[in-house]
C-alpha cells in the first residue's frame, strides 16, 4: 500500500510546479515533504520517493529559505546565521535522500568518495553511464553544492566542491536537458561564483548559461536569474544584469508546467533589480 501511495504521489507531483501563488506554495511544500517522509518510513528503499524528497528539500531551501537569508536584517548576524543553518540542513537532508538513491542504484559510492577525487571521478565513469543516472547525480550535487554555499566559513565543506562539480558534470554529460537544463545551469553558477583555483571559469559559465536558455526557449526563468546574480554581478556587467531581470519581470505565464519556479524567479528578480544602484557602484 505504501508503494502504491508513493507511486500515486510521484505521478501527481508535476502538478505542484503549476501552482500560481507564491505564498500559498511556501506553506504547502513543507506539509508535502512531511507526507512523503511518512510514506518513506514504510518503504525506505522506494527510489521514486527518495528522488522526490531530494528535489523537494533542495527546491524548498532554494526557493524560500535562501530568500529569508537574503532579506534578513544585514546587521542581525545571529539571525542570519540561524537562517543559513536552517537552509544548510534542508540541503543536507536533500543530499541524504539523493545519496541513499545512489547507493540503491549503484555499488561502491562510499568507497569512491573515501578514495579521493580522482577515484571518485573514475567511479563515476565506470558506474554512472545511463541517462537514467542523471537525476540522482544532479540532485545529489545540487543539494551538496548548495549546502556548501551556505557554509563558506567551513573549509572542510568547501573542500568537497570538486566532488559536487564532478557529479553534476557527469549528469550533464548523460542528459543535458534533464530538469530544464538543470545541470548546465548549476555548473554555470558555480563557474561564475568561485575563483579559478577551485573551479571558477567566468567565460565558461557564460557559454553554459546561454546554451541553457536556448535549450529551454528562455522560458525557465531561474536560468536568467542565476545568470544575472552570478556571472553578470560578479563581472560588473550592469546592463546584462538588468536586462536579464527585466526579461523575467516582463514575461507572462510562458511556461505553465514550470509556473511556480518562474514565480519564485519573478519574486527575487523584483528585489534584485531594485538593488542595482547598491550593487553596481
Give the number of domains in the chain: 1
| Confidence bin at 20 (pLDDT 50/70/90) | confident
Residue 52 CA to residue 58 CA, distance in Å, equals 10
Question: Which is more confident, 198 or 16?
Answer: 16
Report the candidate in 126, 138, 60, 130 with the shortest Cα–Cα distance to residue 93.
60
Alpha carbon distance 5, 7 (integer Å): 5
Does residue 91 belong to any structural domain of this protein? no
Contact 43/49 with Cβ under 8 angstroms? yes
Question: Is residue 171 in a domain?
Answer: no
Q: What is the pLDDT of residue 193?
A: 86
Domain that holds residue 183: 176-281
* Of 103, 97, 105, residue with least CA distance to 40: 97
Kindly indicate the confidence band of residue 82, based on its pLDDT and cuts at 50, 70 and 90: very high
Compute the radius of gyration of the chain from its Cα atoms.
18
Q: Which helix (H) or strand (E) holds 262?
A: helix 259-274
Residue 185 covered by a domain:
yes
Residue 257 lies in a domain: yes
Residue 8: pLDDT band with limits 50, 70, 90: low
pLDDT of residue 228: 97
Q: Is residue 189 part of a domain?
A: yes
216 or 18, higher pLDDT: 216
Structure letter (DSSP) for residue 115: T
Looking up cell 567551513, which residue turns up? 154
Q: Which of 17-21, 47-51, 96-100, 261-265 has the lowest mean pLDDT?
A: 17-21
**148 belongs to a structural domain:** no
Q: What is the mean pLDDT of residues 208-236?
A: 96
Q: What is the mean pLDDT of residues 215-240?
A: 96
All three cell numbers of 206, joined, read 557564460
Between 27 and 172, where is the model more confident?
A: 172
Closest CA to 61 of 220, 264, 232, 273: 264
At residue 14, does pLDDT exceed 80? no
Cβ atoms of 159 and 198 closer than 8 Å: no
Residue 115 included in any domain? no
Please report whether residue 194 resides in a domain.
yes
Q: What is the pTM of this model?
A: 0.93
pLDDT at 18: 80
pLDDT at 1: 74
Q: How confident is the model at residue 12 (pLDDT cuts 50, 70, 90)?
A: low
Amino acid at each position: 500500500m505504501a508503494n502504491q501511495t508513493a507511486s500515486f504521489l510521484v505521478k501527481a507531483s508535476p502538478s505542484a510546479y503549476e501552482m500560481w501563488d507564491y505564498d500559498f506554495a511556501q506553506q504547502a511544500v513543507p506539509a508535502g515533504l512531511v507526507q512523503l517522509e511518512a510514506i518513506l518510513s514504510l518503504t525506505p528503499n522506494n527510489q521514486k520517493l527518495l528522488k522526490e524528497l531530494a528535489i523537494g528539500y533542495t527546491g524548498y531551501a532554494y526557493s524560500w529559505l535562501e530568500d529569508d537569508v537574503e532579506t534578513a536584517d544585514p546587521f542581525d548576524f545571529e539571525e542570519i546565521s540561524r537562517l543559513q543553518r536552517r537552509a544548510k540542513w534542508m540541503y543536507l537532508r536533500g543530499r541524504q535522500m539523493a545519496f541513499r538513491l545512489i547507493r540503491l542504484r549503484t555499488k561502491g559510492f562510499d568507497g569512491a568518495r573515501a578514495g579521493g577525487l580522482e577515484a571518485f571521478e573514475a567511479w563515476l565513469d565506470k558506474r554512472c553511464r545511463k541517462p537514467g543516472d542523471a537525476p540522482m547525480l544532479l540532485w545529489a550535487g545540487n543539494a551538496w553544492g548548495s549546502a556548501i554555499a551556505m557554509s563558506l566559513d567551513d573549509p572542510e565543506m568547501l573542500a568537497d566542491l570538486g566532488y559536487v562539480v564532478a557529479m553534476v558534470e557527469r549528469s550533464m554529460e548523460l542528459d543535458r536537458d534533464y530538469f530544464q537544463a538543470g545541470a548546465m545551469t548549476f555548473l554555470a553558477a558555480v563557474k561564475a561564483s568561485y575563483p579559478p583555483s577551485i573551479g571558477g571559469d567566468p567565460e565558461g559559465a557564460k557559454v553554459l548559461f546561454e546554451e541553457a536558455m536556448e535549450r529551454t526557449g528562455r522560458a525557465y526563468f531561474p536560468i536568467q536569474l542565476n545568470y544575472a546574480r552570478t556571472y553578470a554581478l560578479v563581472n560588473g556587467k550592469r546592463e546584462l544584469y538588468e536586462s536579464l531581470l527585466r526579461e523575467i519581470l516582463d514575461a507572462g505565464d510562458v511556461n505553465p508546467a514550470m509556473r511556480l519556479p518562474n514565480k519564485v524567479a519573478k519574486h527575487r528578480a523584483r528585489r534584485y533589480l531594485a538593488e542595482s544602484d547598491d550593487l553596481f557602484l
